[in-house]
Homo-oligomer: A and B are copies of this chain.
Amino acid sequence: MQELVVKTQQRDQMVEITPHVQRVLDQASIDTGMVIVYVPHTTAGVTINENADPDVVHDTLTRLDKMVPWREPFDRHGEGNSASHVKASMMGASVTVLVQSGRLQLGRWQGIWFCEFDGPRTRSVWVSVQ
């Protein structure tokens, strides 16, 4: 299990980590199997989505923010970041990517994205080759 460090600059931000995950895989020198990318935080998540047009990230974060508003009148959590917790669960704490010939098997347009929902912060991402 290797740890990546991701620094974010905004409250909501998606950071592509595909090359870093591939680097961990390279060091493991396995041919076939899978990689688990796991986020050990409760106000951040991880997802797989398009890495070609940055506007997809903009639209995704803005749509999530509309679906899960920062404040709701019924909120009780004193830290005021309940929206971040909900978005984290909606994206999920881990993704699984298949490995063949030592390469991440991603679709042509897919990248692995760390999803910050309560930044800016310095975060950890755990990568395990199985």
Task: Count residues of chain A with CB under 8 A from any CB of chain B.
Answer: 58
Contact B58 A76 (CB under 8 A): yes
Tell me, in angstroms, the Cα distance from A94 to B106 when the chains sit together. 11
Copies in the complex: 3
Known: A66-B72, A98-B126, A110-B40. A77 touches B59 (CB 8 A): yes
Tell me, in angstroms, the Cα distance from A130 to B34 when the chains sit together. 9
10 smallest CB-CB distances across A and B, nearest first, come from A40-B107, A59-B82, A55-B76, A42-B50, A55-B77, A48-B93, A47-B89, A42-B109, A63-B86, A98-B128
Binding site for B on A (CB under 8 A): 1, 33-34, 36, 38-42, 47-50, 53, 55-56, 58-60, 62-64, 66-68, 72, 74-79, 82-83, 85-86, 88-98, 100, 105-110, 124, 126, 128, 130
